[in-house]
């Protein structure tokens, strides 16, 4: 079963618009970690943010912010005032403690295109 | 630059062949993970090594094997290659196993094309 679902396949916006990426996860663990990674056209995977399951405080880091809600198993990510350089595929990932290997289970990714 | 290096960057080979992908983790990182990214399967975990020992296996085929050496670099060996093995192979490293302490940092990947 898919542990991480990113329902949005593609999002296209005009520069300076905000972009919100949805992520829904599934786990039986009480302790787990959630991540967002970015994959620009060059292909590398770039770490963006990490959240622990026991800390639901939502934060803002520069133009990035996230909304973590355990009650709905969602970990949404927002880019404020998008820029062309934000064009990339964004992956949400889950790491479960009880699996004892801490591997990352990735969603299918959301392709974000920011037009000038 | 994540500090994780992977060689080669690109690899083109024929079906039935064997290849070795190499990964050097960030300085001080003991954990090495391998992932495969393909169009049909997405990003899939293959195998995890910690300080030279295999920690966990994911969706790794029997034709694939890996090891982590005393200097902590890792190699992923792919044998009897098939067209479907064409993918981008990522290595990631982290200091510890538990992500409470740190996240996984990914290398630039090795793009394998099997003809």
- CA dist A102 and B33 (Å) reads 10
Q: What percent of chain B has pLDDT over 70?
A: 95
Residue B78's alpha-carbon distances to A26, A66, B22, B28, B49, in angstroms, are 32, 38, 11, 27, 17
Confidence at A100, pLDDT banded by 50, 70, 90: low
Put simply, the answer to whether A46 touches B106 (Cβ < 8 Å) is: yes
pLDDT score at A61:
78
- CA dist B105 and B82 (Å) reads 29
Nearest by Cα to A80 from A58, A64, A61:
A64
Question: Is the separation of the CB atoms in A73 and A24 below 8 Å?
Answer: yes
| Chain A residue numbers touching B9 (CB-CB < 8 A) | none
pLDDT score at A55:
78
Residues 6+ apart with CB under 8 A from B21: B6, B7, B8, B11, B75, B76, B77, B78, B89, B91, B110, B112
Residue B36, both tokens: 């495969």
Confidence at A31, pLDDT banded by 50, 70, 90: confident
| Chain B residue numbers touching A91 (CB-CB < 8 A) | 43
Asked if pLDDT for residue B100 goes beyond 90, the answer is: no
Confidence at B65, pLDDT banded by 50, 70, 90: very high
The rounded mean pLDDT for chain B is 93
The rounded mean pLDDT for chain A is 91
């Amino acid at each position: 079963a898919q542990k991480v679902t990113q329902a949005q396949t593609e999002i296209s916006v005009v520069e300076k618009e905000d972009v919100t990426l949805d992520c829904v996860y599934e786990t039986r663990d009480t302790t787990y970690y959630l991540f967002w990674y970015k994959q620009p056209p060059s292909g590398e995977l770039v770490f963006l943010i990490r959240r622990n399951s026991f800390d639901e405080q939502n934060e803002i880091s520069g133009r990035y912010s996230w909304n973590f809600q355990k009650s709905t198993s969602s970990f949404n990510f927002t880019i404020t005032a998008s820029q062309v350089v934000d064009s990339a595929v964004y992956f949400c990932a889950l790491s479960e403690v009880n699996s004892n290997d801490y591997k990352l289970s990735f969603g299918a990714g959301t392709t974000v295109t920011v037009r000038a | 630059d994540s500090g994780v290096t992977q060689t080669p960057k690109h690899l083109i080979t024929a079906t039935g062949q064997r290849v070795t992908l190499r990964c050097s983790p960030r300085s001080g990182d003991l954990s090495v993970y391998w992932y495969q990214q393909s169009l049909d399967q997405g990003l899939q975990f293959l195998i995890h090594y910690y300080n030279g020992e295999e920690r966990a296996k994911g969706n790794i085929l029997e034709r694939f094997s890996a090891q982590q050496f005393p200097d902590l670099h890792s190699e992923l060996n792919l044998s009897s290659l098939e067209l479907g093995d064409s993918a981008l192979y990522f290595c990631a490293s982290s200091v510890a196993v538990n992500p409470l302490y740190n996240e996984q940092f990914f290398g630039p990947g090795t793009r394998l094309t099997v003809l």
